[in-house]
């Protein structure tokens, strides 16, 4: 109930939920804002554009990068943050997400949530009268992939016409990459075991938008000539499957796999990495790896997201 679109200060509330909810120019605008902040510019003409604004952050799963980059970014923009978790709020005693959304909307200016079930994100955004930002669910991680796109662009220019290979679990991060392919004109090849294929909804949406999405079993075929190779943990947060290492070992990103990619291909990983599992030390620490820039860019692109949501 009561899930009609909300009005914010400047028209409809601007949530940042999933990449399939946006038009491409809006995502381009957010990336450009992030890049401007990285260059030290003030794209809103103000060094503290979020002065007096507060972001509540709800973490139902652990985090290093998302937590610290949102907090640091908000403070650098002049705003403040309040950290919340299920255990130290009434969410842990059964208060509904919809009621929590209504109450937080009276205190703060935006909510970032990291949770398991995307239905919780949806419920929160349906009942909040302030922007809600997706800080990861079991099905997507859009803030991460925005940072990844920014990282590729700063190293190699436009992704249009490029080939991005994902080798490993067809997980939440992979789903956001698939959605990004439809926006930014690159081919995405997902190499994964048949039982760990990416969400069909993300693949179908991207293909319907004209995106080139190839799902295959063979990591070597997928890596051939790629401009970027990406992987992620074999065991995402909340996953109980003990068979993952056996299933995913052939998808490890190592020097042999990187050698099949195009000369100058990059390597990315959203982190945290499990060295020796999905990626070897030689690749993580090698010349093609841009994982530290990728982690840094979470900060910059999220400043773009925060200001797009709030200003």
Binding site for ligand CP (CB under 6 A): 63-66, 136, 144, 270-272
In which residue are the tokens 């079991």 written? 138
Strand intervals (E) in the chain: 7-8, 11-12, 54-59, 80-85, 110-114, 132-134, 163-167, 187-191, 212-216, 228-231, 266-269
Which residue of the set 232, 244, 252, 309 is catalytic?
232
Q: Check binding of 197 to ligand NVA (CB under 6 A).
A: no
Q: Check binding of 20 to ligand NVA (CB under 6 A).
A: no
Which residue of 143, 173, 268, 305 would you call a contact of ligand NVA, by CB under 6 A?
Answer: 173
Which residue of 130, 270, 273, 309 would you call a contact of ligand NVA, by CB under 6 A?
Answer: 270
Instruction: Please indicate whether residue 114 is annotated as part of the active site.
Output: yes
The angle at the Cα of 30, spanning 11 to 204, to the nearest 5 degrees, equals 90
How many Cβ atoms sit within 10 Å of the Cβ of residue 41?
Answer: 11
Which residue of the set 298, 300, 302, 309 is catalytic?
298
Which one of ligand NVA, ligand CP, none is in contact with 302 (Cβ closer than 5 to 8 A by kind)? Answer: none
Q: What secondary structure letter does DSSP report for 136?
A: -
Which one of ligand CP, ligand NVA, none is in contact with 247 (Cβ closer than 5 to 8 A by kind)? Answer: none
Instruction: Please indicate whether residue 144 is annotated as part of the active site.
Output: yes
Which residue of 69, 233, 289, 297 would you call a contact of ligand NVA, by CB under 6 A?
Answer: 233
Instruction: Please indicate whether residue 298 is annotated as part of the active site.
Output: yes
Which one of ligand NVA, ligand CP, none is in contact with 64 (Cβ closer than 5 to 8 A by kind)? Answer: ligand CP
For the chain, the farthest-separated pair of C-alpha atoms sits apart, in whole angstroms, at 54
Contact status, residue 122 vs residue 268, Cβ threshold 8 Å: no
Contact status, residue 310 vs residue 53, Cβ threshold 8 Å: yes
- Beta pairing class for 11-12 and 7-8: antiparallel
Tell me how far, at minimum, the Cβ of 302 lies from ligand NVA, in Å: 14
Name the site residues for ligand NVA (rule: CB under 6 A). 136, 171-173, 232-233, 236-237, 270
The set of catalytic residues is: 114, 141, 144, 232, 270, 298
């Amino acid at each position: 109930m009561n899930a009609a679109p909300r009005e914010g200060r400047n028209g409809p509330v601007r949530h940042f939920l999933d990449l399939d909810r946006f038009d491409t120019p809006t995502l381009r605008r957010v990336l450009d804002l992030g890049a401007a902040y990285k260059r030290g510019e003030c794209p809103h003409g103000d060094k503290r554009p979020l002065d007096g604004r507060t972001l509540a952050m709800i973490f139902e799963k652990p985090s290093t990068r998302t937590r610290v980059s949102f907090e640091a970014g908000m403070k650098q923009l002049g705003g403040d943050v309040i950290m919340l978790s299920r255990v130290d709020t009434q969410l842990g005693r059964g208060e509904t997400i919809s009621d929590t959304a209504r109450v937080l909307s009276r205190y703060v200016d935006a909510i970032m949530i990291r949770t398991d079930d995307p239905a919780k994100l949806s419920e929160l955004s349906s009942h909040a009268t302030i922007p809600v930002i997706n800080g990861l669910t079991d099905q997507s991680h859009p803030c991460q992939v925005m940072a990844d796109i920014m990282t590729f662009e700063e190293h190699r220019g436009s992704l249009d016409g490029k080939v991005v290979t994902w080798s490993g679990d067809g997980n939440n991060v992979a789903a956001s990459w698939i959605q990004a392919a439809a926006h930014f004109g690159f081919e995405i090849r997902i190499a994964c075991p048949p039982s760990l294929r990416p969400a069909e909804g993300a693949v179908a949406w991207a293909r319907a938008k004209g995106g080139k999405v190839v799902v295959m079993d063979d990591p070597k075929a997928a890596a051939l000539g790629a401009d970027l190779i990406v992987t992620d943990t074999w065991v995402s947060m909340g996953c109980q499957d003990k068979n993952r290492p056996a299933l995913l070992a052939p998808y490890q990103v190592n020097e042999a796999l990187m050698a099949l990619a195009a000369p100058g291909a990059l390597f990315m990983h959203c982190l945290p990495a499990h060295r020796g599992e999905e990626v070897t030390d030689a690749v993580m620490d090698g010349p093609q790896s841009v994982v530290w820039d990728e982690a840094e860019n979470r900060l910059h692109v999220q400043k773009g997201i925060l200001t797009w949501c709030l200003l």
